[in-house]
A and B are shown apart, each in its own frame.
Chain A
Amino acid sequence: MQDWALPTIHPQECTGCGLCVQYCPTAAVELVDGKPVIVRPADCAYCGLCEENCPTGAIELAYEIGFGAA
Chain B
Amino acid sequence: MTVTLDDLRRVKLFAGLAPASLAALAPLASARSYRDGDSILLEGEEAAGVLFVLEGAARVYRTSPEGREQTLILLHAGDALNLPTPFAPSPVAPASAVAVGDSRLLALPLAAFRRAASEIPDLALAVMGDLAARLRHFTRLTYDLSLRSVRGRLARFLLRHASADAPSPVRWTQEEVAAQLGTVREVVSRTLRAFVREGLIRLDRQRILILDREALERESES
State the A residues within 8 Å of B (CB): 1, 4-5, 8, 46, 48, 51-52, 57, 60-70
27 A–B contacts from the bound complex (CB under 8 Å) = A1-B169, A4-B205, A5-B171, A48-B189, A57-B175, A61-B174, A63-B206, A63-B207, A64-B171, A64-B208, A65-B161, A65-B169, A65-B172, A65-B208, A66-B162, A66-B163, A66-B164, A66-B169, A66-B209, A67-B162, A67-B164, A67-B209, A67-B210, A68-B202, A68-B204, A68-B211, A70-B202
Say how far A39's CB is from chain B's closest CB, in angstroms. Answer: 19
Say how far A35's CB is from chain B's closest CB, in angstroms. Answer: 19
Chain B interface secondary structure, helix, strand, loop or mixed?
mixed
Chain B residues with CB below 8 A from A61, complex form: 173-174, 206
**Top-10 shortest CB links A-B:** A68-B209, A62-B171, A5-B206, A64-B169, A60-B173, A65-B162, A46-B205, A65-B161, A62-B173, A63-B208
State the B residues within 8 Å of A (CB): 158, 161-164, 166, 168-175, 185, 189, 199, 202-211, 213
A69 touches B211 (CB 8 A): yes
Given contacts A52-B189, A70-B211, contact A63 B164 (CB under 8 A): no
Chain A residues with CB below 8 A from B158, complex form: 65
Chain B residues with CB below 8 A from A52, complex form: 189
Interface centre among A4, A62, A70, by most chain B C-beta atoms within 10 angstroms, is: A62
Chain A residues with CB below 8 A from B203, complex form: 63
Besides A5-B171, A66-B209, A68-B207, 17 other A-B contacts (C-beta < 8 A): A46-B206, A62-B171, A63-B171, A63-B173, A63-B207, A64-B163, A64-B169, A64-B206, A65-B158, A65-B161, A65-B208, A66-B210, A67-B213, A68-B209, A68-B210, A70-B199, A70-B202
A65 touches B173 (CB 8 A): no
Q: Complex formed: what's the CA distance from A63 to B174 in Å?
A: 8
A62 touches B206 (CB 8 A): yes
Say how far A48's CB is from chain B's closest CB, in angstroms. Answer: 7
B172 touches A63 (CB 8 A): yes
Say how far A67's CB is from chain B's closest CB, in angstroms. Answer: 5
